[in-house]
Homo-oligomer: A and B are copies of this chain.
Amino acid sequence: MTVEQRGTREGPHHVSSSATDRRRGPERLEAFSDGVLAIAITLLVLEIRVPPAEDLADPNKLIEALGALWPSYLGYLISFVTIGIIWANHHNLIRLVDRVGHGLILANLLLLLTIGFLPFPTALLAATLETPSAQIGVLVYAGTFVVVAIAFNVLWYEIRTRPGVLRRDVDAWSVAAISRSYRLGPPGYLVAFVAALINPALGMGVIIVLTLLYLLPSSSGA
């Protein structure tokens, strides 16, 4: 993690040239991504708002108001688990990285951009789920997950195809297995999106099923 360690590994010639060619190991990319993911996952709770003062004074009203917050709890739960799974998968990908180049930084930034955005569609979902606008809330939510899943595949594409990024000791079989499992993410959430076009509750059902599937040990997508 120290500059000295890296310097030793790469030799002094590389270090001075690296000032311009931007290549480096994945340690700080990992630390920064971990930070953004940890913050995005923890900010989700800020969207669960304490009921207004008039509901607080009356215990019966408060119980009702806390129950009516169920879309907020559901949104917190799904978004939290999804970001948690993305974190685990992100770690699995970055472990396979040998050298970090400009393309990888951009692809990773794109992924973080979509994940950092998640608290907004989560809050929108929670605010609309019991209104006539529920469909819009679910569509935006599912649509954001489609974009996140695409960004995850872009990152993996960048790692696996850009020369010198993937570690040489990763075999073709592993690469193919990862590709297979991640490839299911975008169409999966697209199904949720289309289902929400038919019926918002159906769309939510597909999202919940996808979240549960990603919790299985054998699957690993985004």
Q: Which of B32, B62, B80, B128 contacts A34 (CB 8 A)?
A: B32
Contact A3 B169 (CB under 8 A): no
Give the chain B neighbours of A87 by CB distance below 8 A. Answer: 32
Contact B120 A45 (CB under 8 A): yes
Give the chain B neighbours of A171 by CB distance below 8 A. Answer: 16
Contact A96 B19 (CB under 8 A): yes
Give the chain B neighbours of A132 by CB distance below 8 A. Answer: 57-59
- Encode A27-42 as 1/0 by CB contact (under 8 A) with B: 1101110111111111
CB of A163 closer than 8 Å to a CB of B? no
CB of A157 closer than 8 Å to a CB of B? no
- The quantity of this chain's copies bound in the complex is 4
Cα–Cα distance between A28 and B28 once the two chains are bound (Å):
12
Q: Which of B66, B106, B133 contacts A59 (CB 8 A)?
A: B133
Distance from A20 Cβ to chain B, minimum over Cβ atoms (Å): 5
Interface stretch, picked from A111-119, A147-155, A189-197, A202-210, is A111-119
Question: Provided the pairs A34-B32, A58-B132, A178-B20 are in contact, do residues A25 and B2 lie with their beta carbons within 8 angstroms?
Answer: yes
Contact B36 A38 (CB under 8 A): yes
Distance from A72 Cβ to chain B, minimum over Cβ atoms (Å): 9
CB of A184 closer than 8 Å to a CB of B? no
Q: Which of B48, B97, B116, B133 contacts A80 (CB 8 A)?
A: B116
CB of A127 closer than 8 Å to a CB of B? yes
What class of interface size applies to chain A in its complex with B? 35 or more
CB of A187 closer than 8 Å to a CB of B? no
A interface list, Cβ under 8 A from B: 1-7, 9, 12, 15-20, 22, 24-28, 30-32, 34-46, 48, 50, 53, 56-59, 62-63, 66, 76-77, 80-81, 84, 87-88, 91-92, 95-98, 102-103, 105-106, 109, 112-113, 116-120, 123-124, 127-128, 131-133, 135-136, 140, 167, 169-171, 174-175, 177-178, 215, 217, 220
Given contacts A39-B43, A58-B133, 5 further A-B contacts (CB under 8 A): A2-B27, A42-B116, A66-B140, A80-B113, A84-B105
